[in-house]
Amino acid sequence: MRPEDTEMEFVRVIRNSHLNSYGTLYGGWMMRWIVDAASAVAVRLARGPAVLGYLDDLHFLNPVYPGELAIYRARVEYTGKSSMGISVKVTAENPRTGEVRPSTFALLAYVAVDERGRPRRLSRSVEPSELGSEFYKLVKERVRDRKVLAKDVNVEGYDRISSVTVREEHLVYSDIMYAGNLLYLMDEVGSVVSLRYARRPTVTACLDRMTFYTPIRRGDMLHFYAKVTKVWRSSMEISIKTLVEGVSGDLGHATTSFMVFVAMGERGPERLPPMEGGDPEADKRRAMRKEVLRRIRNLLGDVSVEG
């Protein structure tokens, strides 16, 4: 098959219940719908269950407003023995004017699994695109130490923000938690921390790449820990570490990511209270984000990125 043979399109109408504190589309919904679109393409190709194993850097380019349409175009960019690389391009459309703006672009890696969550071989393959070939090599490198990192439950320096029990509403296949629900919950945690620090509305600007280390199942407890790692003029970086506690009490490391939130006022981004110190590696991560953002803008042809 060719990548274009696998393409699917999904459209969401943005309602007031989807908005953040600033009145634009909430980042948690955006991330959840990206996973919805990618998951549909993955299970269609896999002819059965597939779970998210890796999500590449995700940047929110332009806001989406109430009454607008969020359009998700997803397709398979490569296949391995049991893995799939999927791209999701998101645009926002104003139905009154017909204006279309790029909103974000995501690359996700999925694994076809059986009912117990074990990898299974794909029966169909896709000829890799140039983007897919590059992404396949990238994923192999970034998930290499997954088994070691799954045991990293150290949360020194973090504050515990919330906990949740994995219930039926969080599941996708059998007793496995749906990654879209996890991303939504993580964005909630980041929003809480950013609002407490900024004391004004904030919006999600980006989510750094994430690898999922430990399976999350029905009845497990998820514990979310977070800390502000760096504050710049109007943006802040927040690290969110998610631990999973099994019914036996054993702890595992589900995933960790860095998210950036921007403080907003009536006229746009506003200055944040300064923070002393911070993570010395944060500026390096910020420089890497700018490079990723340039690549995404070139890919989408975006010349009107706000902020």
Among the listed residues 57, 148, 51, the one whose alpha carbon sits nearest the alpha carbon of residue 109: 51
Per-residue pLDDT band for 303 (boundaries 50, 70, 90) equals very low
143: left (phi over 0), alpha (psi -120 to 50) or beta: alpha
CA distance 64 to 29: 11
The answer to whether the CB of 212 falls within 8 A of the CB of 52 is: yes
For 281-299, letters b (16+ CB in 10 Å) and e give ebeebbeebeebbeebbee
Q: Which two tokens stand for residue 158?
A: 């973090």
Per-residue pLDDT band for 298 (boundaries 50, 70, 90) equals confident
Q: Is 209 exposed, middle or buried (0-12, 13-18, 19+ CB in 10 A)?
A: middle
CA distance 94 to 97: 6
pLDDT at site 226: 98
Among the listed residues 243, 238, 252, the one whose alpha carbon sits nearest the alpha carbon of residue 202: 238
Please give the model's pTM, rounded to 2 decimal places: 0.94
State how far the alpha carbon of 2 is from the alpha carbons of 120, 128, 194, in Å. Answer: 22, 8, 42
Report whether pLDDT(191) > 90: yes
pLDDT at site 200: 96
The answer to whether the CB of 130 falls within 8 A of the CB of 64 is: no
H or E element that contains 163: strand 159-165
Could you read off the pLDDT of 236-253 as tens digits, one per residue?
999 999 999 999 999 999
Report whether pLDDT(305) > 70: no
CA distance 155 to 176: 25
Of the chain, the percentage scoring pLDDT greater than 90 comes to 91
pLDDT at site 187: 97
Could you read off the pLDDT of 92-127 as tens digits, one per residue?
999 999 999 999 999 999 999 998 889 999 999 999
Domains, the chain, ordered by start = 3-300 (3.10.129.10)
User: Mean pLDDT across the stretch 75-95?
Assistant: 97
Could you read off the pLDDT of 4-59 as tens digits, one per residue?
999 999 999 999 999 999 999 999 999 999 999 999 999 999 999 999 999 999 99
State how far the alpha carbon of 70 is from the alpha carbons of 18, 64, 65, 261, in Å. Answer: 11, 7, 9, 21
Q: Which two tokens stand for residue 166?
A: 């994995």
The answer to whether the CB of 154 falls within 8 A of the CB of 243 is: no
pLDDT at site 31: 97
pLDDT at site 302: 57
Please state the φ and ψ torsions of residue 299, each to the nearest 5 degrees. -65, -40
